[in-house]
Amino acid sequence: MSIPLGVLTRYDEMGASSRLRYYLFRNALENGGFRPEYHPFFCAAYLRRLYAGQGKSRLLAAGALLRRLALLPRLPERLLVEYELLPELSAAFELKFLRRHRYILNFDDNVWEKYASRPRLAGKYDELIRRADGVIAANDFLLERVAALNPNAIKIPTVVDLGAYDPVGVKKFPRFTVGWIGTPVTYSYLEQAAGALRTMSRAADFELLVIARRDLEARAIPGVRMRFADWSADAEAGLLLQCHAGIMPLTDDPFSRGKSAYKLIQYQAAGLPAIASPVGENVRVIRHGVTGFLADSPAEWADALKQLAADSGLCAAMGLAARAAAFDYSLQKYGPVEAAFLRSALSVSL
Protein backbone atom coordinates (compact mmCIF):
# COMPACT_ATOMS: atom_id res chain seq x y z
CA MET A 1 0.00 0.00 0.00
CA SER A 2 1.40 3.41 -0.96
CA ILE A 3 1.50 6.30 1.52
CA PRO A 4 0.03 9.69 0.49
CA LEU A 5 2.70 12.40 0.31
CA GLY A 6 1.80 16.04 -0.15
CA VAL A 7 4.46 17.68 -2.34
CA LEU A 8 4.23 21.46 -1.87
CA THR A 9 6.24 23.14 -4.63
CA ARG A 10 6.65 26.79 -5.58
CA TYR A 11 5.83 26.25 -9.26
CA ASP A 12 4.42 23.67 -11.61
CA GLU A 13 6.72 21.89 -14.06
CA MET A 14 7.45 25.15 -15.89
CA GLY A 15 9.60 26.28 -12.95
CA ALA A 16 13.08 24.76 -13.12
CA SER A 17 13.63 24.20 -9.39
CA SER A 18 10.23 22.58 -8.88
CA ARG A 19 10.46 20.47 -12.03
CA LEU A 20 13.92 19.13 -11.27
CA ARG A 21 13.74 18.59 -7.52
CA TYR A 22 10.14 17.35 -7.22
CA TYR A 23 8.33 16.39 -10.42
CA LEU A 24 11.40 14.59 -11.80
CA PHE A 25 11.34 12.33 -8.70
CA ARG A 26 7.73 11.23 -9.16
CA ASN A 27 8.56 7.68 -10.29
CA ALA A 28 11.27 7.30 -7.66
CA LEU A 29 8.81 8.29 -4.94
CA GLU A 30 6.17 5.93 -6.28
CA ASN A 31 8.69 3.09 -6.45
CA GLY A 32 9.69 3.97 -2.89
CA GLY A 33 6.21 3.42 -1.50
CA PHE A 34 4.65 6.90 -1.76
CA ARG A 35 1.70 8.32 -3.64
CA PRO A 36 2.83 11.90 -4.35
CA GLU A 37 0.18 14.63 -4.63
CA TYR A 38 1.65 17.77 -6.23
CA HIS A 39 0.43 21.21 -5.19
CA PRO A 40 2.29 24.19 -6.76
CA PHE A 41 1.98 27.54 -4.98
CA PHE A 42 2.22 29.92 -7.95
CA CYS A 43 0.10 29.44 -11.06
CA ALA A 44 1.67 29.16 -14.52
CA ALA A 45 0.58 32.72 -15.38
CA TYR A 46 2.73 34.10 -12.55
CA LEU A 47 5.86 32.38 -13.88
CA ARG A 48 5.14 33.28 -17.52
CA ARG A 49 4.91 36.91 -16.46
CA LEU A 50 8.17 36.66 -14.52
CA TYR A 51 10.03 35.01 -17.41
CA ALA A 52 8.68 37.63 -19.80
CA GLY A 53 10.41 40.31 -17.75
CA GLN A 54 7.15 41.83 -16.49
CA GLY A 55 8.07 41.42 -12.84
CA LYS A 56 6.16 39.83 -9.98
CA SER A 57 2.39 40.17 -9.81
CA ARG A 58 1.06 41.00 -6.34
CA LEU A 59 -2.44 40.05 -7.46
CA LEU A 60 -1.39 36.60 -8.64
CA ALA A 61 0.74 36.13 -5.52
CA ALA A 62 -2.24 36.99 -3.29
CA GLY A 63 -4.38 34.52 -5.20
CA ALA A 64 -1.70 31.86 -4.75
CA LEU A 65 -1.65 32.42 -0.99
CA LEU A 66 -5.43 32.13 -0.74
CA ARG A 67 -5.40 28.88 -2.72
CA ARG A 68 -2.66 27.46 -0.48
CA LEU A 69 -4.55 28.41 2.68
CA ALA A 70 -7.70 26.75 1.33
CA LEU A 71 -5.69 23.62 0.54
CA LEU A 72 -4.17 23.16 4.01
CA PRO A 73 -7.08 21.27 5.63
CA ARG A 74 -6.99 18.69 2.83
CA LEU A 75 -3.28 17.86 2.95
CA PRO A 76 -2.13 14.37 3.95
CA GLU A 77 -0.16 13.79 7.13
CA ARG A 78 3.26 13.62 5.45
CA LEU A 79 4.65 16.54 3.45
CA LEU A 80 7.64 17.43 1.28
CA VAL A 81 7.94 21.22 1.11
CA GLU A 82 9.93 23.47 -1.21
CA TYR A 83 11.43 26.06 1.17
CA GLU A 84 8.23 27.04 3.00
CA LEU A 85 4.53 26.36 3.06
CA LEU A 86 3.29 29.98 3.19
CA PRO A 87 5.63 32.57 1.61
CA GLU A 88 5.70 36.00 3.22
CA LEU A 89 3.99 34.77 6.40
CA SER A 90 5.79 34.25 9.69
CA ALA A 91 7.19 30.98 10.99
CA ALA A 92 4.80 31.08 13.96
CA PHE A 93 1.79 31.31 11.68
CA GLU A 94 3.06 28.57 9.36
CA LEU A 95 3.90 26.22 12.21
CA LYS A 96 0.29 26.34 13.40
CA PHE A 97 -0.51 24.28 10.31
CA LEU A 98 2.67 22.23 10.11
CA ARG A 99 2.42 20.95 13.71
CA ARG A 100 -0.31 18.58 12.54
CA HIS A 101 2.04 17.06 9.95
CA ARG A 102 5.35 15.31 9.56
CA TYR A 103 7.32 17.35 7.06
CA ILE A 104 10.61 17.54 5.17
CA LEU A 105 12.03 20.78 3.75
CA ASN A 106 14.04 20.90 0.53
CA PHE A 107 16.46 23.75 -0.36
CA ASP A 108 18.37 24.36 -3.57
CA ASP A 109 19.12 28.10 -3.22
CA ASN A 110 20.30 30.46 -0.50
CA VAL A 111 16.74 31.71 0.03
CA TRP A 112 17.72 33.16 3.42
CA GLU A 113 18.87 36.24 1.47
CA LYS A 114 15.26 36.97 0.50
CA TYR A 115 14.23 37.67 4.09
CA ALA A 116 17.59 38.82 5.50
CA SER A 117 16.64 42.50 5.80
CA ARG A 118 13.12 41.86 7.13
CA PRO A 119 13.17 41.37 10.94
CA ARG A 120 9.77 39.67 11.09
CA LEU A 121 10.85 36.98 8.60
CA ALA A 122 14.65 36.87 8.91
CA GLY A 123 14.61 33.80 11.16
CA LYS A 124 11.74 32.00 9.46
CA TYR A 125 13.67 29.29 7.61
CA ASP A 126 15.80 28.51 10.66
CA GLU A 127 12.72 27.95 12.80
CA LEU A 128 11.03 25.76 10.19
CA ILE A 129 14.21 23.71 9.84
CA ARG A 130 14.48 23.14 13.58
CA ARG A 131 10.96 21.70 13.69
CA ALA A 132 11.26 19.61 10.51
CA ASP A 133 11.49 15.81 10.50
CA GLY A 134 14.27 16.09 7.93
CA VAL A 135 15.95 18.51 5.55
CA ILE A 136 17.31 18.06 2.02
CA ALA A 137 20.00 20.43 0.75
CA ALA A 138 21.24 20.64 -2.83
CA ASN A 139 24.86 21.51 -2.10
CA ASP A 140 27.50 21.67 0.62
CA PHE A 141 26.97 25.39 1.29
CA LEU A 142 23.31 24.78 2.12
CA LEU A 143 23.94 21.49 3.89
CA GLU A 144 26.34 23.14 6.32
CA ARG A 145 23.71 25.74 7.14
CA VAL A 146 20.78 23.37 7.67
CA ALA A 147 22.77 20.64 9.46
CA ALA A 148 23.66 23.14 12.19
CA LEU A 149 19.93 23.44 12.90
CA ASN A 150 18.68 19.91 12.26
CA PRO A 151 20.83 16.76 12.53
CA ASN A 152 18.60 14.81 10.12
CA ALA A 153 19.89 16.52 6.98
CA ILE A 154 21.11 15.08 3.69
CA LYS A 155 22.70 16.43 0.52
CA ILE A 156 20.83 15.54 -2.66
CA PRO A 157 22.02 17.58 -5.64
CA THR A 158 19.76 18.83 -8.37
CA VAL A 159 20.00 15.91 -10.78
CA VAL A 160 19.59 14.99 -14.43
CA ASP A 161 17.90 11.98 -15.96
CA LEU A 162 20.81 10.46 -17.89
CA GLY A 163 18.39 8.68 -20.18
CA ALA A 164 17.37 12.02 -21.69
CA TYR A 165 20.94 12.75 -22.87
CA ASP A 166 21.62 10.15 -25.55
CA PRO A 167 24.50 11.21 -27.83
CA VAL A 168 23.99 8.42 -30.38
CA GLY A 169 23.50 9.88 -33.87
CA VAL A 170 23.79 13.51 -32.71
CA LYS A 171 26.09 15.74 -34.80
CA LYS A 172 27.84 18.79 -33.40
CA PHE A 173 27.11 22.26 -34.75
CA PRO A 174 29.48 23.16 -37.63
CA ARG A 175 30.95 26.15 -35.77
CA PHE A 176 32.55 25.62 -32.36
CA THR A 177 29.58 26.29 -30.09
CA VAL A 178 29.53 27.10 -26.40
CA GLY A 179 26.20 26.54 -24.68
CA TRP A 180 24.58 28.41 -21.83
CA ILE A 181 21.22 27.26 -20.50
CA GLY A 182 19.03 28.99 -17.95
CA THR A 183 15.97 31.09 -17.31
CA PRO A 184 15.47 34.62 -18.68
CA VAL A 185 15.95 35.84 -15.11
CA THR A 186 19.42 34.28 -14.77
CA TYR A 187 20.52 35.65 -18.16
CA SER A 188 21.83 38.56 -16.07
CA TYR A 189 24.81 36.38 -15.12
CA LEU A 190 25.89 36.39 -18.77
CA GLU A 191 25.46 40.15 -18.97
CA GLN A 192 27.63 40.60 -15.90
CA ALA A 193 30.29 38.41 -17.56
CA ALA A 194 30.25 40.52 -20.75
CA GLY A 195 33.89 41.57 -20.36
CA ALA A 196 35.08 37.96 -20.10
CA LEU A 197 32.91 36.90 -23.05
CA ARG A 198 34.34 39.65 -25.25
CA THR A 199 37.86 38.62 -24.26
CA MET A 200 36.97 35.04 -25.18
CA SER A 201 35.67 36.20 -28.57
CA ARG A 202 39.01 37.84 -29.33
CA ALA A 203 40.88 34.67 -28.33
CA ALA A 204 38.91 32.10 -30.34
CA ASP A 205 36.25 31.80 -33.01
CA PHE A 206 33.10 30.51 -31.35
CA GLU A 207 29.36 31.04 -31.12
CA LEU A 208 27.52 31.31 -27.82
CA LEU A 209 24.18 29.50 -27.88
CA VAL A 210 21.81 30.87 -25.25
CA ILE A 211 19.05 28.36 -24.47
CA ALA A 212 16.43 30.36 -22.61
CA ARG A 213 14.15 32.59 -24.67
CA ARG A 214 14.68 33.69 -28.25
CA ASP A 215 13.63 37.29 -27.71
CA LEU A 216 16.59 37.77 -25.36
CA GLU A 217 18.37 38.55 -28.60
CA ALA A 218 17.39 42.17 -27.92
CA ARG A 219 19.86 42.02 -25.01
CA ALA A 220 22.69 40.38 -26.97
CA ILE A 221 26.17 41.30 -25.77
CA PRO A 222 28.01 43.51 -28.27
CA GLY A 223 31.24 41.97 -29.54
CA VAL A 224 30.12 38.37 -28.92
CA ARG A 225 28.73 36.09 -31.63
CA MET A 226 25.48 34.84 -30.10
CA ARG A 227 22.47 32.76 -31.09
CA PHE A 228 19.31 32.41 -29.03
CA ALA A 229 16.90 29.49 -28.74
CA ASP A 230 13.69 29.01 -26.82
CA TRP A 231 14.05 26.57 -23.95
CA SER A 232 11.72 23.60 -23.71
CA ALA A 233 11.97 20.35 -21.79
CA ASP A 234 11.86 18.46 -25.09
CA ALA A 235 14.58 20.53 -26.80
CA GLU A 236 17.17 21.22 -24.08
CA ALA A 237 19.09 17.93 -24.23
CA GLY A 238 19.25 17.88 -28.03
CA LEU A 239 20.58 21.43 -28.18
CA LEU A 240 23.24 20.81 -25.55
CA LEU A 241 24.38 17.59 -27.20
CA GLN A 242 25.15 19.57 -30.36
CA CYS A 243 27.38 22.02 -28.49
CA HIS A 244 31.11 21.58 -27.93
CA ALA A 245 31.37 23.09 -24.43
CA GLY A 246 29.28 24.82 -21.78
CA ILE A 247 29.79 27.82 -19.50
CA MET A 248 28.53 28.93 -16.10
CA PRO A 249 29.72 32.37 -15.02
CA LEU A 250 28.65 33.51 -11.55
CA THR A 251 29.14 36.52 -9.35
CA ASP A 252 30.79 35.80 -6.00
CA ASP A 253 28.07 36.70 -3.51
CA PRO A 254 26.06 34.85 -0.82
CA PHE A 255 23.18 33.98 -3.15
CA SER A 256 25.44 32.64 -5.92
CA ARG A 257 27.49 30.61 -3.43
CA GLY A 258 24.26 28.79 -2.55
CA LYS A 259 23.43 27.86 -6.16
CA SER A 260 23.46 24.23 -7.20
CA ALA A 261 25.63 24.23 -10.35
CA TYR A 262 22.81 22.59 -12.29
CA LYS A 263 24.04 23.99 -15.60
CA LEU A 264 27.32 22.16 -15.07
CA ILE A 265 25.46 18.96 -14.25
CA GLN A 266 23.53 19.25 -17.53
CA TYR A 267 26.73 19.87 -19.46
CA GLN A 268 28.27 16.77 -17.92
CA ALA A 269 25.24 14.68 -18.88
CA ALA A 270 25.62 15.95 -22.45
CA GLY A 271 29.32 15.07 -22.44
CA LEU A 272 30.51 18.68 -22.59
CA PRO A 273 33.60 20.12 -20.94
CA ALA A 274 32.65 23.23 -19.01
CA ILE A 275 34.18 26.55 -18.03
CA ALA A 276 32.83 28.04 -14.82
CA SER A 277 33.46 30.62 -12.13
CA PRO A 278 35.16 29.16 -9.02
CA VAL A 279 32.14 29.94 -6.84
CA GLY A 280 30.17 27.67 -4.52
CA GLU A 281 29.19 24.25 -5.81
CA ASN A 282 30.94 24.88 -9.15
CA VAL A 283 34.23 24.08 -7.42
CA ARG A 284 32.94 20.66 -6.39
CA VAL A 285 31.30 19.69 -9.68
CA ILE A 286 34.15 20.57 -12.02
CA ARG A 287 37.43 18.67 -11.79
CA HIS A 288 39.75 21.38 -13.05
CA GLY A 289 41.73 20.20 -16.07
CA VAL A 290 39.78 16.91 -16.24
CA THR A 291 36.10 17.66 -16.84
CA GLY A 292 36.53 21.36 -17.50
CA PHE A 293 38.12 24.55 -16.23
CA LEU A 294 37.54 26.92 -13.33
CA ALA A 295 38.22 30.45 -14.52
CA ASP A 296 38.19 33.69 -12.58
CA SER A 297 39.68 36.52 -14.63
CA PRO A 298 38.77 37.32 -18.27
CA ALA A 299 42.22 36.09 -19.27
CA GLU A 300 41.58 32.71 -17.61
CA TRP A 301 38.20 32.40 -19.33
CA ALA A 302 39.77 33.18 -22.69
CA ASP A 303 42.68 30.75 -22.17
CA ALA A 304 40.33 27.91 -21.21
CA LEU A 305 38.14 28.46 -24.27
CA LYS A 306 41.17 28.76 -26.54
CA GLN A 307 42.47 25.38 -25.37
CA LEU A 308 39.14 23.65 -26.03
CA ALA A 309 38.51 25.29 -29.39
CA ALA A 310 42.04 24.65 -30.67
CA ASP A 311 42.42 21.04 -29.53
CA SER A 312 39.55 18.74 -30.55
CA GLY A 313 41.26 15.80 -28.83
CA LEU A 314 41.41 17.62 -25.52
CA CYS A 315 37.80 18.74 -25.90
CA ALA A 316 36.65 15.19 -26.62
CA ALA A 317 38.63 13.67 -23.76
CA MET A 318 37.25 16.18 -21.28
CA GLY A 319 33.76 15.55 -22.62
CA LEU A 320 34.10 11.82 -22.02
CA ALA A 321 35.36 12.45 -18.49
CA ALA A 322 32.43 14.79 -17.87
CA ARG A 323 29.91 12.22 -19.06
CA ALA A 324 31.51 9.57 -16.82
CA ALA A 325 31.17 11.95 -13.84
CA ALA A 326 27.51 12.65 -14.59
CA PHE A 327 26.24 9.57 -12.74
CA ASP A 328 27.18 11.21 -9.45
CA TYR A 329 24.56 13.89 -10.19
CA SER A 330 21.88 11.71 -11.73
CA LEU A 331 18.31 10.68 -11.00
CA GLN A 332 19.49 7.10 -11.43
CA LYS A 333 21.72 7.48 -8.37
CA TYR A 334 19.67 9.79 -6.18
CA GLY A 335 16.08 8.70 -6.86
CA PRO A 336 16.36 5.69 -4.52
CA VAL A 337 18.39 7.77 -2.02
CA GLU A 338 15.67 10.39 -1.70
CA ALA A 339 12.90 7.82 -1.37
CA ALA A 340 14.82 6.02 1.37
CA PHE A 341 15.47 9.28 3.24
CA LEU A 342 11.78 10.22 3.11
CA ARG A 343 10.74 6.79 4.37
CA SER A 344 13.13 7.03 7.30
CA ALA A 345 12.39 10.66 8.22
CA LEU A 346 8.62 10.27 7.85
CA SER A 347 8.48 6.86 9.58
CA VAL A 348 7.22 4.88 6.61
CA SER A 349 7.90 1.16 6.23
CA LEU A 350 7.47 -0.80 3.02
Separation of alpha carbons 150 and 138, rounded Å: 15
Interatomic CA distance for residues 65 and 86, integer angstroms: 7
pLDDT at position 228 is 98
% of the chain residues with pLDDT over 90: 88
Domain assignments of the chain as residue spans, ordered by start? 3-159+331-346, 163-329
How do residues 231-268 score in pLDDT, each as one tens digit?
A: 998 999 999 999 999 999 999 998 888 888 999 999 99
The structural architecture, per CATH, of the domain 163-329 is 3-Layer(aba) Sandwich (3.40)
Bridge partners, 81 (sequence order): 8, 105
pLDDT, average across residues 202-217: 96
CA dihedral 202, 204, 205, 208 (to 10 degrees): -90
| 288 Cβ contact partners less than 8 Å away, ≥ 6 residues apart | 294
Q: Are 83 and 91 in contact (CB under 8 A)?
A: no
Q: What is the pTM of this model?
A: 0.88
Question: What is the reported pLDDT for 88?
Answer: 94
pLDDT in tens, 67-77: 999 999 999 99
pLDDT at 51: 80
Q: Is there a contact between 155 and 173 (Cβ–Cβ < 8 Å)?
A: no
Please tell me the predicted confidence (pLDDT) of residue 350.
Answer: 66
User: Taking a C-beta distance cutoff of 8 angstroms, is the pair 181, 216 a contact?
Assistant: no
The per-residue pLDDT for range 261-280, each reduced to its tens digit, is 999 999 999 999 999 999 99
* CATH number of the domain located at residue range(s) 3-159+331-346 in this protein: 3.40.50.2000
Instruction: Tell me the average pLDDT of the chain.
Output: 95
Q: List pLDDT tens digits, range 49-105.
A: 888 778 888 999 999 999 999 999 999 999 999 999 999 999 999 999 999 999 999
> For residue 33, what are the CA distances in angstroms to 29, 50, 82?
7, 36, 20
**Distance (Å, whole) CA 89 – CA 66:** 12
Give the pLDDT of residue 327. 96
pLDDT at 349: 74
Amino acid at 151: P
pLDDT in tens, 176-188: 999 999 989 899 9
- Interval 107-155: pLDDT, tens: 999 999 999 999 999 999 999 999 999 999 999 999 999 999 999 999 9
Percentage with pLDDT > 70 across the chain: 100
> Do the domains 3-159+331-346 and 163-329 sit in the same CATH topology, yes or no?
yes
Provide the 3-class DSSP secondary structure of residue 301.
helix
**Calpha distance 312→113 (Å, rounded):** 42
